[in-house]
Amino acid sequence: METQDQVKLCFPQLLNSSCRKPTLHWPEALLLNTLLSFISLITIVLNLLVIISVSHFRQLHKPTNILILSLAVSDFLVGFLLIPVEIFKYTACWLFGDTLCIVYYYVACVVLCASIGIIVLISVDRYVAICDPLHYHTRITLAKVKYWVFLCWVLSVVYSTFYLKDELIQPGRNNPCIGKCGFSISNITGNFDLIFNFILPVTVIIVLYMRVFFVAVFQARAMRSQVTAVKLKLSVNLKTKKSEMKAARTLGVLVVVFLMCYCPYYCYSVVEVNLTSTSYASFFFFLYYFNSCLNPVIYSLFYPWFRKALKLIVTLQILLPGSCEANIL
């Protein structure tokens, strides 16, 4: 019986301090690893295509696309670094020590905070574009957007340092055993994170997009009411109706998907502050990260220019001289 218990430990020589090995059976582990690895690969490929498209084609060097590019970079890091490490943590013992463990969580915190910040900036960009179109080109310039993106990443680093300051000073200070990668935070820090990293961003996004939606519908109806010719009116009605439905669908998908991926993690963190020490931790992290796979679909695949850029990339036409000047808008 003692031998069986030792086999289940990550470090059999440390009977009193070693964590137990993950108890997944090999068919379950194989299926789970295959599914999560596929999600990681899709996340990497989709976001890499967005990065190449916006970076290569000069016509896409616009404020909105710079925000999409920054979001794609953070989501690419999620697929390339965070998801594979989380897969390893879920299916195997952590063998790399407490220092690399907290480095992983620090990188994850920086990337995810930056991603949330960029989504807020995108909502602000769309708000100005729809609600104040006459001043959009003066208020939202390429230089200003680059500055705000840079500031967003800097603030993410500062925030992550504050959020994990205790673990950075003393890695593994609250790890219950050896062979597990996790961390714990105080109630004050957890509540601070809940407010500033979830409640405030979600509130801003929902309020701005609801405002954008109502203004877009109002403008569409105003344009329709000014049409006097019957044939022209019919054409505008059809076009306006299509525009309204497209706006409603896009904004609805955006908000719902964001909340579906982020709400479970933060709702459960209200009940369990030390989320990483629970058996549900990996599930919430994977759901949290899955938003990075959906972002390029929501923000990029809805744009016609992305489909044109994708065709040029897949057919390797971007390798031709002068391909960066291609007309894809």
Render pLDDT for 184-202 as a digit per residue (tens, 0 to 9).
777 788 788 888 888 898 8
Check residue 281 and give its pLDDT: 65
Q: Which pair of tokens denotes residue 254?
A: 């955006």
Check residue 296 and give its pLDDT: 82
For CA atoms 7, 12, 17, 19, the dihedral sign is negative
What is the DSSP code (8-state) at residue 60?
A: G
Check residue 5 and give its pLDDT: 46
Decide if pLDDT at 304 tops 70.
Answer: yes
> Can you tell me the distance from the alpha carbon of 50 to that of 56, in angstroms, rounded to the nearest whole number?
10
Q: What is the mean pLDDT of the chain?
A: 80
> Can you tell me the distance from the alpha carbon of 195 to that of 217, in angstroms, rounded to the nearest whole number?
31
Check residue 38 and give its pLDDT: 92
Q: Which pair of tokens denotes residue 200?
A: 């405030």
Q: Which band of pLDDT confidence, cut at 50, 70 and 90, is reported for residue 155? A: very high
Question: Which one has a higher pLDDT value, 239 or 300?
Answer: 300
* Interior/surface letters 155-190, b for 16+ CB within 10 angstroms, e for the rest: ebeebbeebbebbbeebbeebeebbbbbbbbeeebb
Average pLDDT over residues 40-47: 93
Question: Which one has a higher pLDDT value, 207 or 29?
Answer: 207
Check residue 3 and give its pLDDT: 47
Residues 6+ apart with CB under 8 A from 1: none
Q: Which band of pLDDT confidence, cut at 50, 70 and 90, is reported for residue 134? A: confident
Check residue 270 and give its pLDDT: 66
Quick one: what percent of the chain has pLDDT higher than 70? 81
- Return the CATH class of domain 26-53+60-325: mainly alpha
Average pLDDT over residues 143-162: 94
Q: Which band of pLDDT confidence, cut at 50, 70 and 90, is reported for residue 244? A: very low
pLDDT tens per residue across span 212-224: 777 777 766 666 6
Check residue 226 and give its pLDDT: 58
Model confidence, pTM:
0.84
pLDDT tens per residue across span 86-117: 888 878 888 888 889 899 999 999 998 999 89
Q: Of the ranges 15-24, 45-54, 159-168, which one carries the lowest mean pLDDT score?
A: 15-24
User: Is residue 94 within 8 Å of 181, Cβ to Cβ?
Assistant: yes
Decide if pLDDT at 233 tops 50.
Answer: no
pLDDT tens per residue across span 259-299: 788 877 777 766 655 555 555 666 777 888 888 888 888 76
Owner of token pair 């961003």: 201
